[in-house]
């Protein structure tokens, strides 16, 4: 099952560095399928953030999808924090 969510970064931050950080975090999360691999595309230049649409695949059971989505979101937040990449609100 394909899962999608949005992650925003600050305008001063590097899109390339953020994309690489996001993809590493998503790909390393338990339950994310290696094939097809995760994607992260710039979706929107919003008023206070550059927003990525992040896609990944996991097993299709709903309970599994929710657990993996939590792991992925947590991993992305922690990775962006560690890289010093701002996530504005």
pTM: 0.93
Rounded Cα distance between 60 and 28, Å, is 19
Residue 19 has which token pair?
């994309």
Selection from 36, 55, 52 nearest residue 44 by Cα: 52
Task: Note down pLDDT in tens along the chain; length 89 residues.
Answer: 999 999 999 999 999 999 999 999 999 999 999 999 999 999 999 999 999 999 999 987 766 888 999 999 999 999 999 999 999 97
Residue 2 has which token pair?
């394909």
Rounded Cα distance between 56 and 5, Å, is 9
Q: What pLDDT, on the 0 to 100 scale, is given for residue 31?
A: 94
Q: What pLDDT, on the 0 to 100 scale, is given for residue 60?
A: 78
Reported in sequence order, the residue ranges of the chain that DSSP labels E, i.e. its strands, are: 2-9, 39-45, 50-57
């Amino acid at each position: 099952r394909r899962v999608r969510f949005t992650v925003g970064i600050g305008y001063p931050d590097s899109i390339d560095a953020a994309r690489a950080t996001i993809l590493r975090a998503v790909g390393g999360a338990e339950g994310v399928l290696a094939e097809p691999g995760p994607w992260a595309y710039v979706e929107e230049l919003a008023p206070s953030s550059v927003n990525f649409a992040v896609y990944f695949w996991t097993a299709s059971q709903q309970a599994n999808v929710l657990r993996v989505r939590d792991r992925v979101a947590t991993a992305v937040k922690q990775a962006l924090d560690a890289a010093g990449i701002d996530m504005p609100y």
